[in-house]
Chains A and B, each alone.
Chain A
């Protein structure tokens, strides 16, 4: 168990560019979540997968955001045409089981800065 890995740790991009982040969950965890966190706020839910199926996507999520988990293992989060308001920490988390009584394990996050 090597924990949840995220890559890259930091990303600086110019406004209008596309960026893609990767998350490798704990291997036996079937659920994978993406959150976004800005300074002084708690993590904000973006989307989650059970195995390869994307089961929920936040209504607040712009259509510039897309996520995939093609083989039920790693996941990618892509942001197209980045805006300065996209600057945040993007957190990936995973867990096992399907009930409500399971805590998440978070990765170290990808800090995005849009200039």
Chain B
């Protein structure tokens, strides 16, 4: 079992729709959770972090965390073509090095 699992996609949504990206993790002691966006050929860019159960909103992005279910998600409202990218879920625990999922490729169609 991989430490961090994501559906590889591709996930395709129309412009203006809500994109929902999901991630599960295996290490129960994981403490912090991050979403990175990676455009093709570029390096990952941090877009959201969440540490406590519940929702965290930042503009069009909402991260959701459920530690009991070992599940974290990212919602992108009013999706734009510029949101088309690969979204990486990452987790850290006490040893502090970050483990990444394989990423979900999102395509927003005009």
In the docked arrangement, what's the CA distance between A104 and B44, Å? 9
Main secondary structure of the interface of A (DSSP, over half): loop
Q: Nearest 3 pairs between A and B by C-beta?
A: A42-B100, A106-B43, A103-B46
Interface residues of chain B, those whose CB is within 8 Å of chain A, are: 4, 8, 31-32, 34, 42-46, 49, 51, 88, 90, 92-103
Minimum distance in angstroms from B95 CB to a CB of chain A: 7
Query: Which residues of chain A are near B42, meaning CB under 8 Å?
Result: 108
| A45: interface (CB < 8 Å) | yes
CB-based contact A101/B51 at 8 Å: yes
CB-based contact A106/B45 at 8 Å: yes
A56-B95, A100-B31, A103-B34 known; A43 and B100 CB under 8 Å? Answer: yes
Query: Which residues of chain A are near B101, meaning CB under 8 Å?
Result: 42
14 A-B contacts (beta carbon < 8 Å):
A31-B96, A33-B98, A40-B103, A42-B88, A42-B102, A42-B103, A89-B43, A99-B96, A100-B93, A103-B49, A105-B46, A106-B45, A108-B42, A109-B43
CB-based contact B43/A91 at 8 Å: yes
A101-B51, A103-B46, A106-B43 known; A41 and B102 CB under 8 Å? Answer: yes
Query: Which residues of chain B are near A35, meaning CB under 8 Å?
Result: 100
A45-B97, A106-B43 known; A101 and B31 CB under 8 Å? Answer: yes
In the docked arrangement, what's the CA distance between A44 and B2, Å? 12
Q: How many residues of A contact B (CB 8 A)?
A: 25
CB-based contact A104/B98 at 8 Å: yes
Query: Which residues of chain B are near A91, meaning CB under 8 Å?
Result: 43-44
CB-based contact A100/B32 at 8 Å: yes
CB-based contact B49/A100 at 8 Å: no
In chain A, residues 83-115, which have Cβ atoms closer than 8 Å to a Cβ of chain B? 89, 91, 98-109
